[in-house]
Structure 1
Amino acid sequence: MTMCCTKRLLLFVLLLSVSPTIWAQKNLTAYLQPQIAVNYKIAGSYSQNFSLASRNYIFSNEDFLLRARQLDLAHFSNLNIRDNQSIALGVQYRFRNNFEDKENELRTTQQYNIAQRPNAIRYGHRIRAEQRITQSLTTHRFRYRYAMDFPLIGEKLDLGEPYFVGSLENLLSVAKGTSPQYDTRLSGQVGWQLQGGLKLQMGIEYRLEDYSSSLPQNILFLLTSMQLSL
């Protein structure tokens, strides 16, 4: 079962990344987004996470380019309420005005997460409520994500061996004076568990934004991340 899922998901990710149909879309924007994150336990079931991510244009308005778009600094406080369940509160600040003529954003997040591992594959369900606050508008966003991860070699993940992480997420954004916006996101990444609590991941994410409108937006991310657990 694991190998069958692996082959199908990796094939989809590969096709998505090279598909000429996606790159030919006039309403396509592509980004390169590297991220670094640090996770550490405070006491018992309480832990914290800090992350820094940079989003950079690599394809926009039918042209290839490399230009910074924004910088995101985020913090989450996590509390395990059961062996497989947790709740979290987060705050994020998005530096946008430094790179474009756009407003900076403060974001607060409330999260519930549950995970199950009936076999080698771990399944996760995440529910989030967010408040995206700018000087001119506050947008409330509600998110549900279904995710899975599993080792690509054998049934157990050992140091230095690769693993796969995939997710499907749906989002609803509502704000005063605007129509509701519906988005969906599909991502796949390959990672490696290294010594010293270090993880490296790379992959892609495809977003279909405002898909109920007459002109939905196609967004493609090339993702890289480094995570350190202390």
Structure 2
Amino acid sequence: MYSTKWFPFFFLLLLMGNVHAQENLTGYWQPQIAVNYRVAGTYSHNFSVANRNYIYDDEELTLKGRQLDLAHFSKLKIRDNQSIALGIQYRFRSNFEHKENELRLTQQYNITHKPLAVRFGHRVRTEERITNSLTIHRFRYRFAMDFPLMGEEVDLGEPYFVGSFENLLSVAKDNAPQYDTRLSAQIGWQLNVGVKFQMGMEYRMEDYNSNLPQNILFILTSVQLSL
């Protein structure tokens, strides 16, 4: 477990190494608040609001809004370590830029495995991203891990680490397939029984099979409430 505690720092160094000196770089700050609500023993709801803001664009530091996302997920546990979920999200972009708003439908399967103090997770998602002009079908696979940074369990006030790696494929009529990859690392704290706070970074390489892939860096902050 001692060696595992150093993993977040190596993960962050790898993340920064991917971003350093990249061309076509855009930076965002994305705060989010999420509420988890258990309806029954194996059935729960998740509601979230996220606001994405430019902090680095066209090789300049800035602070301006890009979009607002409202999302809802309904999740059903089918086994102790497996669940399925359906989600709906609406993205407001026309209020910030001359872009179309988006309706997104999501289907998800998730499985976790915790041999010791480290929990591993595999998530598969399919999505339909719907705008007035186009429907994009997206297929996603994410591998994630999380573990306490002090001891074997996360106690109140103690930190934990969450890291993930995700690949995405987007396809649409009359468009070439787009391949994206994402690498993220966050540190969280269990502030009390029903409140978690997380902060960290995410690096995305979008359309990496093209001649001009886009490099995107996120600063992430989130509050998660469990009712």
Same fold (TM over 0.5): yes
Cα deviation, 1:62-82, whole Å, max 9, x if unaligned, reads 111000000000000000000
Partner SS state of residue 39, structure 2: strand
Aligned pairs, number: 227
- Find the aligned partners of 1:132 and 1:225 in 2 and give their Cα distance: 24
Cα distance in 1, alignment partners of residues 133 and 81 from structure 2: 39
In the alignment, which residue of structure 1 is the partner of 2:55?
Answer: 58
Q: Which residue of 2 aligns with 1:178?
A: 175
Query: Residue in 1 aligned with 2:15?
Result: 16
Aligned-pair CA distance for 1:58: 0.3
Structure 1 ranges of 4+ moved more than 4 A: none
Whole-angstrom CA distance in 2 between matches of 1:23 and 1:221: 14
Choose the corresponding residue for 1:161, options 155, 158, 163: 158
Structure 2 regions of 5+ residues with no counterpart?
Answer: none
1:125 aligns with 2:127: no
- Indicate whether 1:44 and 2:37 are aligned: no
Q: Does structure 1 retain, via aligned residues, the 8 Å contact 2:25–2:214?
A: yes
Question: Equivalent residue for 1:207?
Answer: 204
Distance 1:82 1:69 in 2: 39
- In structure 1, what residue type is equivalent to 2:211? S
> 1:200, 1:94 → 2: CA distance?
24
For 1:191-206, what aligned pairs fall within 5 Å after superposition? Answer: 191-206=188-203
Structure 1 unaligned segments of length 5 or more: list them. Answer: none
Match of 2:222 among 222, 225, 229: 225
SS at match of 1:99: coil
State the alpha-carbon separation in 2 of the partners of residues 75 and 169 from structure 1. Answer: 21
Percent of counterpart pairs with the same letter? 69
- The match for 1:4 is 3
Distance apart, 1:5 and its partner CA: 3.1
1:81 aligns to what SS in structure 2?
Answer: strand
Cα shift at 1:44 = 1.5
**C-alpha separation in 2, matches of 1:128 and 1:81:** 16
- What amino acid is the match of 2:141? Y
Distance in 1 (alpha carbons) for counterparts of 2:26 and 2:123? 26
Deviations 1:151-208 (A, max 9, x none): 0001111111000000000000000000000000000000001214100000000001
Aligned pairs for 1:108-147 (under 5 A) are: 108-147=105-144
User: In structure 2, how many angstroms separate the alpha carbons of the residues matched to 1:67 and 1:57?
Assistant: 5
Letter in 2 for 1:125: H
User: Any conservation in 2 of the 1:26–1:62 contact (CA below 8 Å)?
Assistant: no
Q: Is residue 97 of structure 2 the alignment partner of residue 97 of structure 1?
A: no
How big is each residue's C-alpha offset from its partner over 1:52-97, in whole Å with a ceiling of 9 and x where there is no partner? 0000000011111000000000000000000000000000000000
How far the C-alpha of 1:23 sits from its partner, in A, is: 5.0
CA contact (8 A) 2:15 2:183 kept: no
Is this contact kept in 2: 1:72–1:93, CA < 8 A? yes
Which secondary structure state, in structure 2, belongs to the residue aligned with residue 25 of structure 1? coil
State the Cα distance separating 1:24 from its structure 2 match. 3.6
Which residue does the alignment assign to 1:189? 186
Tell me if the contact between 2:31 and 2:220 (Cα under 8 Å) persists in the aligned partners.
yes
CA distance in 2, matches of 1:41, 1:110: 19
Q: Aligned AA for 1:129?
A: T
